[in-house]
Amino acid sequence: MSSGPEHLLDVAGLEVRYGAIEAIRGAGLEVCKGEIVTLLGANGAGKSSFLNAVMGLVPLAAGRVVLDGEDITGEAPETVVRRGMTLCPEGRRVFANLTVRENLAIGGATRRRTGDAATILADMLDRFPVLAERHDQMAGTLSGGEQQMLAIARAMMSAPRIVLLDEPSLGLAPQVVDTIFEMIVALQHHGATILLVEQNVDLALDVADRGYVLASGRVALSGPASELQASGEVERAYMGRD
């Protein structure tokens, strides 16, 4: 893809170990500007470990992470955020005893120097109107779907070049999941670049441009989302789980 779309994230040869356990074994992927790329795999395949390693939350045994042409391998998470990449973690992890507005302010505290914090906040409240309605409400009193919206908006407050979304549908009712994914697609239409980890394979491939499948810590399969969805290879790759 050397002459194709502009690469925003390049990960190569990633290895993560927890003691004697090899969680990631030489995996890599590419995300181009404006894409939604999904990272799929069975439980235990290493998806969250991959995202955490890319963000600098767990140490690398080997590999290279390049963001918008800059090598950020081994940099601290707060530095990675300032460089333009952020993570919306699995399980939402909102600050339950803080208001919606305070949660969003925390998300903007380490933003890249692009845009005024108040302008970004106004934009998030416009894109997520339910958060505007509940801006003074404690985050812990929100529904699961509202907390997921808050977690995504909080991640976007740092004005990222790319946002990593880890299991945004986890624990949510189907109709709420549909709403969340409509918002993810809307973010892409507004210029966001997204690396999406998601257990709902069909839904992920519906919204993604391309996909990668992890099995036992390695990339077992990759390609355009439409081709992966049309083949039976994804289901077979899932059988390679740890």
Mean pLDDT in residue range 46-54: 94
Q: Which domains does the chain carry?
A: 7-239 (3.40.50.300)
pLDDT tens-digit map of 124-165:
888 898 999 999 999 999 999 999 999 999 999 988 999 999
* pLDDT at residue 70, as a whole number: 95
Reported confidence tier of residue 241, pLDDT bands at 50, 70, 90: very low
pTM as predicted: 0.89
Q: What is the pLDDT of residue 242?
A: 41
Between the alpha carbon of residue 2 and those of residues 26, 168, 228, the distances in Å are: 21, 31, 22
The pLDDT tens digits for 171-190 are 888 889 999 999 999 999 98
